[in-house]
Amino acid sequence: MTTLATDPLTLIHLAISLAAIATGLPVLVAMLKGQMPPTLTSIFLGLTVLTSVTGFLFHNSHVTPGMIIGAISLGVLAIAVFAFYGRRLAGRWRVAYTVAAALALYLNVFVLVIQSFVKIPALHALAPGAPPAGPVFGAVQGIVLILFVVAGWRAVKAAWTV
């Protein structure tokens, strides 16, 4: 049976990840309205960078899928941060930021779903294995992907019309 880890690094990483998602969702909702709330966006971007960075602190003797997702996330976040702070969302940078921010949030939620199926016994029973697999896991990840593609597309349309 799986158990939730209680070591300090894991708990801190988990708290930062959940806080990044909790701030990212209202940022995404604001983007759907063509808004970019500066304070909430800054918190979201900072926490999401911190999530990816703290993920690399776990000691592994080889490259893991989590490290690959973290590296992709940091690359995407570099674009988002540059578009938001460096270019101040001018012109096409507003759309670049919107795509990058939505993708960074999606990657956090993608990992949350994986970790939920690995660590929460009721979900693990539905999709045993590490990494989890099967129709229930695939359906959940598919629904999350579809929701983010639709929300991202609508946010880009809203950003383009501002």
Query: For 24-63, what is each residue's pLDDT tens digit?
Result: 999 999 999 999 999 999 999 999 999 999 999 987 789 9
Tell me the average pLDDT of the chain: 94
Q: Does the pLDDT value for residue 10 go beyond 80?
A: yes
**pLDDT tens digits, one per residue of 21-33:** 999 999 999 999 9
Q: Is the pTM of this model over 0.85?
A: yes
**Residue 145 belongs to some domain of the structure:** yes
Asked if the model's pLDDT at residue 147 lies above 80, the reply is: yes
Judged against a pLDDT cut of 80, whether residue 2 lies above it is answered with: no
Among 65-69, 90-94, 127-131, 132-136, name the one with the lowest average pLDDT: 127-131
- Is the bond leading into 131 cis (omega within 30 degrees of zero)? yes
84, 142 contact by CB (below 8 A)? no
Handedness of CA 38, 141, 125, 67 (dihedral sign): negative
| Structural domain contains residue 109 | yes
- Asked whether residue 3 is domain-assigned, the answer is no
- Dist CA 36 CA 65 (whole Å): 31
Domain hosting residue 79, numbered range? 8-161
Number of separate domains in the chain: 1
Residue 52 lies in a domain: yes
In a domain, residue 2? The reply is no
pLDDT of residue 6 exceeding 80, the answer is no
Greater confidence (128 vs 156) lies with 156
Give yes or no for residue 132 having a pLDDT over 80. Answer: yes
112 belongs to a structural domain:
yes
Residue 1's pLDDT is 44
Average pLDDT over residues 66-85: 97
Is 1 part of a structural domain of the chain? no
Q: Is residue 54 part of a domain?
A: yes
Q: Go through 63-80 and write b for each residue having 16 or more CB atoms within 10 A of its CB, e for each that does not.
A: eeebeebbeebbebbebb
